[in-house]
Structure 1
Amino acid sequence: MIDLPPTVPLFTTPSGVEVVGFPAAGDDALRWWERLRAEYPASGLWPLLMEEDTPEYLADSYTYATVDESLAQAYALDGSKLLVPDFVDEGEWPSEPERPGFGLPYFRSGQPAQVTVALVPAAEPWLVPVVLHYGGWNKYPSPGEHAAIMRYWQERYGAELVVLTGTTVEYAVARPPLTRPDALALAGRYRAYNDGEYDLYGAEHLTDLAAGLLGAQVWRMWWD
């Protein structure tokens, strides 16, 4: 067992489970995520890096489905089929694509920023959106849809949720695409997944985005 810093209650899930957490910043926050991720099979607690105001987004549900209905959706839906890809190859392959790392535990200047390390009880890591009953506003996937998509990302690419805020998610990726055709296929689904499209990769077209995703061990997405 890991000796944790003192934890405090953060919020209670719609199913009545209390989520606790503690503050950390920058590289230290990511190291805590890695240690707690390694403990997950025994603890059943999935670590998430959150902004301080993220629990406010959890206070009001934007989905009309119940937790049980979202859970059933998560297991029934095929996440890959929820992402209608755009495989159009636009533009030339860039020589120096942007491949951003994790954003949340840092300020835009690159300096460490304090965040909350939350411990979320979840039977599977991809079920976190259902456990938190999180999503369904603007173009954000509903909890059940988001969980099914996360299952697809995990099975296909070894992508695991690290950061969750009111507008963003960030993943650690164990098996990113290693060829240009595979990266282009991912880029089409990436663009279907989040309405931020190319913004976080400084890209102007799908090929730019694919180049940024090629071999990338961190993915960042956002919704307006």
Structure 2
Amino acid sequence: MITELPRLLAASPAGTLPPGRPVTPEDGGPPPYWLSDDPAELTSWARLRARHHETGLWPLLLSGLSCQEDRPWIVGEVSPARMSSPDRYDAAELLAEGWAGGQPDEDDPEAQEITLPFGTRWPGLAAPGESTDPPDDFADECAEFVADGRARLGLVPAARGADTLASIGWTGPMNITGDSGKIASVVRSWEDRFGARVIGVGFDTLRLSVAAPPTTTEHALRVAAEHFAFCPDNVWQGSGTLADYADEIIGANMWVFWWD
């Protein structure tokens, strides 16, 4: 899809895009994304998301490091050639592996409480959420909260939002995996089960709108287990325990992940 970028941009109707440019990766290769010159306007994400089925370009709100805002998007600190296709993976298997890898030290009894009530046992995928809100329309509303006056608008050739994480060459979760194709595979599953949509991507952060979040404690615990397997830092360096994290995501329409 990377080689599709120039053609898709050329096919976009005149006046639909603000000033911007395709960005070439630092390690070479064709540009995997287009980046606006200025911060994104409040409603620009929704306007371009609505045209995705016509343009083949999924919009992202791209933010840089607070101390080095040119990283990673302005300077092209990305590696699309290193990423595999999400098609290669099964989300349930990836999360089971992540759950095992994020477990606390067996010799630390207090740490064992972090993943209660499941302990070391992977509980499996959570059931889908329920919502009457169309996920795309709901994402349009959430995007206005992510457009903070600093994030730039990005456009990526992709059939769905999750796939942009691999095709753009994002390296944010490097301390967990160097292959964002695996990250994209899990997000695909959340798109299908919870109406999640990829809205914002930072240097090492990811923001998803969620039209069908868990609404009960039991369901939230199962979803929290998936989040722990996906991004352990949300619990280890955030809420502290799976149970506390589950309380935070009950009814939450935005999921935010960060990899230290």
Q: Could you tell me the TM-score, scaled by structure 1's length?
A: 0.75
Gaps of 5+ in 2: 1-12, 64-69, 104-114, 119-141
Gaps of 5+ in 1: 91-100, 107-112
Residue deviations 1:93-129 (CA, integer Å, cap 9, x gap): xxxxxxxx887544xxxxxx32201111112222112
Match of 2:117 among 59, 69, 89: 89
- TM-aligned CA deviation for residue 17 of structure 1: 4.0
Change beyond 3 A, Cα 1:185–1:151: same
Q: Distance in 1 between matches of 2:21 and 2:32?
A: 7
- TM-aligned CA deviation for residue 207 of structure 1: 1.6
Match of 1:122 among 148, 158, 167: 158
Q: Distance in 2 between matches of 1:8 and 1:60?
A: 18
Alignment partner of 1:197 is 2:209: no
Aligned pairs (5 A) from 1:52-91: 52-55=70-73, 58-61=76-79, 66=82, 70-71=84-85, 74-84=86-96, 85=99, 88-89=116-117
Residue deviations 1:124-168 (CA, integer Å, cap 9, x gap): 222112211223621245122112111111111111111111110
Q: Distance in 2 between matches of 1:195 and 1:158?
A: 22
- TM-aligned CA deviation for residue 185 of structure 1: 0.3
Alignment partner of 1:160 is 2:197: yes
User: Which is richer in strand?
Assistant: 1
Code of the aligned partner of 1:44: G
Match of 2:35 among 3, 9, 21: 21
Change beyond 3 A, Cα 1:60–1:215: closer
- TM-aligned CA deviation for residue 79 of structure 1: 1.3
- How many residues are aligned here? 198
- Structure number, greater radius of gyration: 2
Match of 1:181 among 190, 206, 218: 218
Q: Distance in 1 between matches of 2:256 and 2:168?
A: 20
Change beyond 3 A, Cα 1:66–1:5: closer
- Is the 2:33–2:168 Cα contact (8 Å) retained in structure 1? no
Residue deviations 1:44-83 (CA, integer Å, cap 9, x gap): 111111124232674353x8x755xx12xx1121112211
Code of the aligned partner of 1:130: A
Q: Distance in 2 between matches of 1:139 and 1:173?
A: 23
- Is the 2:78–2:170 Cα contact (8 Å) retained in structure 1? no
Structure-2 residue corresponding to 1:148: 185
Q: Could you tell me the TM-score, scaled by structure 2's length?
A: 0.65
Q: Distance in 1 between matches of 2:163 and 2:190?
A: 12
- TM-aligned CA deviation for residue 194 of structure 1: 1.2
Residue deviations 1:4-42 (CA, integer Å, cap 9, x gap): 3532114136762453232335xx43x222222121111
Q: Distance in 1 between matches of 2:181 and 2:78?
A: 17
Q: What SS does structure 2 have at the residue aligned with 1:163?
A: strand
Change beyond 3 A, Cα 1:60–1:3: closer
Code of the aligned partner of 2:256: R
Q: Distance in 2 between matches of 1:39 and 1:15?
A: 27
Change beyond 3 A, Cα 1:18–1:198: closer
Structure-1 residue corresponding to 2:62: 50
Q: Which moved more, 1:213-222 or 1:31-40?
A: 31-40
Change beyond 3 A, Cα 1:127–1:15: farther
Q: Distance in 2 between matches of 1:163 and 1:217?
A: 14
Cα RMSD (Å) of the superposition? Answer: 3.0
Residue deviations 1:169-202 (CA, integer Å, cap 9, x gap): 00011111122211110111111111322378x6
- TM-aligned CA deviation for residue 215 of structure 1: 1.3
